[in-house]
Amino acid sequence: MDYLAGLNPQQRAAVENTQGPVMIVAGAGSGKTRVITYRVAHLIQKGVDPFNILVLTFTNKASKDMRERISKVVGGEAKNIWMGTFHSVFAKILRVEAEKIGYPSNFTIYDTDDSKSLIRTILKEMQLDDKLYAANIVFNRISSAKNNLVSATEYLENDQIQAEDIGNKRPLLGLIYETYAKRCYKAGAMDFDDLLFKTNVLLKNHPDVLNKYQQKFRYLMVDEYQDTNFSQYTIVKKLAAAYQNICVVGDDAQSIYAFRGANIQNILNFERDYPDLKVYKLEQNYRSTQNIVEVANSIIANNKNQLEKNVFSDNEKGDRIKVSRAFTDNEEGKLVAEAIVQDRLNKGLAHKDFAILYRTNAQSRAMEEALRKLNVPYKIYGGLSFYQRKEVKDLIAYFRLTFNPADEEAIKRVINYPRRGLGDTTVEKISAAADQHDTTMWQVICHPQQYVQGRIANQLNDFAVMIQSFAAESKKLDAYDTALYIAQHSGILKELHIDDSVEGRSRYENIQELLNGIKEFAEREDIEDRSLAIFMQDIALLTNDDRQNDKDADTVSLMTIHSAKGLEFKNVFVVGLEENLFPSQMSLTSRTDLEEERRLFYVAITRAEKKLTLTYATSRYRWGTLTSCEPSRFINEINPSYLELEVVKPARSSFGENSFDNERKSWTQQRESVGKPKITSPASSAAIIRPKTTSILPKAHIPTAGFTPNAANEFQNGMDVEHEKFGFGKIVNLEGMLPDVKATVFFQGLGNKQLLLKFAKLRIVK
């Protein structure tokens, strides 16, 4: 039982209390992962069968790390725990139970690209405007509906949803959703949201299946519970209903994923679901200095809707938090790069000890340019992942067809790659024939003479025979040999090998790297099934965090704050702390949204171990226009006693020599006069209820009755205007000559948009 000796009293109590509902409120850096892993190990040490334990996480990496830690305590039994992401665990269950809801056990999992490709096909068939019905908008609408457990049928039958779509001028969204769902079903495919949506359908419609898994999972643990959406919440509640041995772990102060459906009320109101709940608060931060922890506390204290806790640190007091002001975003990048170089020289740090965090990806440009000029190596996280590269997706599409030839998105991707005379026209004929005869594209390809004539029939037959040969070989070969056979006989390896350009060599090397990864998988001894089909399931369920690699390389890390959650660095720069950037313009009209932005800032601050620097610029280019910027309200919310102001003087300044010194003096006086921040208690919150279906997307602007656009020659700078789609705004700049005058208009919640007045259809607001 040595593992208990290293826990503080609160951690130990949370580990040892294994019966009934438990909530562990884990502040940033409080040893959350240690508590989860030791709690699972403690269950096993007490005699609980590991097959009866379910642990749900949000990344495969988190699951892997936990399992490794548990195995150090309990040994090989750790392999028998049901542990993984929501999507991977319930995909595994659906493979077993799929036939009960009409799916094959070898169903394909569509990624976002597959889903959007299918949506674009549907839009084209329905002859809809792909600007009004943009694939991204349609995809997000369907995703939000599924996460709120609204089926296509319910969507079409809900008058409020239909009225909302009509107001958004997209009245056919429900029909697109219905068609999309039918196409996925016909193709034997589920998208990511379906893995949870269909699990809910399974548990709701099949009480015997629900009872089976309630008896199996007698102990449930959910990590990052504040990030769960309604669909996840419902599954967990159903599974825990029989024994109520449920433990959720999370921090409401780090709930930052509302944009993808996370509902902070799930953790805030957990006690309403379980009145006998025991709550354990992990409040000691082991990661950061006292100053960093106090700054984080002073920020999050401004949120009204939160759980009460008092995070503290016994680490060194540490440096004050530096706030650096630059004249432009380029100077901001320069000051950050120079600070990294100086700290490395003065303190003997490595590049990997530094991270630059920003609110939006576009902010990386100025940082990258400055780092390159000083020869500072860096890596951007959150870019194109390995498995999203074209050549990798092409070969994986062949793998998918091998195991599920009904997969229409895979068919469309590779039927003519490498080229075999089966272009877009042929694909359209195949798709039309399949729809006309109520069958699948694969059936048309397998029996082409029944649907098409001439040369094309022979080529389709050859393609079908090739895919069938892949399926036959996969039953005889392991994952690597199957993959190599497909890569060779599909023609992909030859196609890429003969391309001796730099790009061609890179694509060929990526295929080799994919095959290397499959070889490594095929030689693993910790899993029983090492087939290519299982490898395909694993990579289909990778999360963004799992796709990052080479994190031990000695490079400065650049990433959005959302990507940084769960990570920690000795030195952190949070850049772009300006109003309308951070907090985002989109968050300023709602307390709920603003509080989420503040939680995002809290997450950024608590990534830092030793040193934290906050920076902002007084001007920044947006849409090609140099715009004045104000410091973020978040800076003003920090207790000044923890701050140190640094102003970077521009080479040429019209502000006067003394203005910067005066600002620094003002900050110093504030710092000396203000005491410690207060910790606020949480406000009461509403009970957990099923989210209203009308809130799946924000409401679009509904034009004023009798909306009539003004002529282009009637507009002037500073005028208040109305746009049919973007709503009310103000003209901030006019440029050009009639009839080609271009207006820059600031719209609340959307920012600046550039419009040609002769096409813009703007109305002057009197």
Establish whether 135 is an annotated binding residue.
no
pTM of the entire structure? 0.76
223 part of the active site: yes
Under 8 Å between Cβ of 542 and 59: no
> Looking at 10, 11, 32, 164, which residue is catalytic?
32
Q: Rounded to whole angstroms, how far apart are CA atoms 711 and 724?
A: 15
The answer to whether the annotation marks 348 as part of a ligand binding site is no
pLDDT in tens, 77-123: 888 899 999 999 999 999 999 999 999 999 999 988 899 999 999 99
Cα 604 to Cα 583: distance, rounded to the nearest angstrom: 13
Helix, strand, coil shares of the chain as percentages rounded to 5?
A: 50, 15, 35
pLDDT in tens, 540-564: 877 555 545 455 688 999 999 998 9
Question: Could you say which of 33, 162, 290, 426 is catalytic?
Answer: 33
Check residue 670 and give its pLDDT: 52
Of the candidates 212, 275, 219, the residue with the CA atom closest to the CA atom of residue 248: 219
One-letter amino acid for residue 21 of the chain: P
Q: Report, in angstroms and rounded to the nearest whole number, the Rg of the chain calculated over CA atoms.
A: 28
What is the rounded distance in angstroms from the CA atom of residue 295 to the CA atom of residue 477? 58
Name which of 266, 180, 255 is nearest 231 in CA terms. 266
Is 31 annotated in a binding site? The answer is yes
Closest CA to 449 of 464, 460, 435: 460
Q: Which of 32, 28, 43, 41 is CA-nearest to residue 10? A: 32
Structure tokens at 18: 């294994």
Contact 511, 492 (CB under 8 A): yes
Q: Which pLDDT value is given to residue 360?
A: 86
Q: How far apart are CA 600 and CA 614, in angstroms?
A: 14
Q: Tell me how far CA of residue 572 lies from CA of 301, 605, 612, 630, 648, in angstroms.
A: 22, 8, 5, 22, 19
User: Which is the catalytic residue, given 108, 254, 265, 440?
Assistant: 254
Cα separation, 412 vs 431, whole angstroms: 10
pLDDT at 625: 65
Distance CA 614, CA 411 (A): 50
Show Cβ contacts of residue 340 under 8 Å, excluding neighbours closer than 6 positions.
351, 354, 371, 376, 556, 571
Residue 84 assigned ligand-binding role = no
408 in active site: no
Residue 570's CB: how many other CB atoms inside 10 A? Answer: 16
Tokens 């990534």 sit at which residue? 607
Pair 451, 433: CB distance under 8 Å: yes
Tens-place pLDDT, residues 41-57? 999 989 999 999 999 99
- Exposed, middle or buried by CB within 10 Å (0-12, 13-18, 19+), for 100? middle
* pLDDT score, position 733: 81
Q: Is 683 annotated as a binding residue?
A: no
Across all residues in the chain, what is the average pLDDT? 86
Q: Which of 369, 18, 428 is nearest to 218 (CA)?
A: 18
Asked whether the beta carbons of 300 and 598 are under 8 A apart, the reply is: yes
DSSP H helices, 348-389, are 364-373
Q: Specify the pLDDT at position 311.
A: 92
Q: What is the pLDDT of residues 641-681, one digit of tens each?
A: 898 887 655 544 333 344 445 555 555 555 555 443 333 33
Q: Which burial class, exposed, middle or buried, applies to 301 when counting CB atoms under 10 A from its CB (0-12, 13-18, 19+)?
A: middle
**CA angle, residues 468, 470, 475, in degrees to nearest 5:** 100
Query: Splitting the chain (766 residues) into consecutive groups of 10 residues, what average pLDDT does each group show?
Result: 82 93 92 91 92 91 86 86 92 94 93 92 92 90 93 94 91 96 95 96 96 96 92 95 94 86 87 91 94 94 87 93 91 94 92 94 86 90 74 94 94 93 89 89 92 85 95 92 94 87 81 86 79 85 57 84 91 95 86 92 96 93 74 91 72 41 52 41 30 39 81 84 86 77 79 80 85
Annotation-wise, does 30 bind a ligand? yes
**CB neighbour list of residue 201: distance below 8 Å, 6 or more residues apart:** 101
Tokens 């690597």 sit on residue: 480
pLDDT of residue 12: 93
Distance set, CA 191 to CA 33, 139, 539 (Å): 30, 11, 14
Catalytic pick among 218, 400, 547, 607: 607
Query: Active-site residue among 111, 224, 252, 343?
Result: 224
User: 97, 165, 191, 223: which is the annotated catalytic residue?
Assistant: 223
26 annotated ligand binder? yes
Give the SS3 label for residue 97: helix
Let me know if 708 is a catalytic residue.
no
Question: Would you call 671 a catalytic residue per the annotation?
Answer: no
CA 303 to chain centre: 23
5 is in an annotated binding site: no
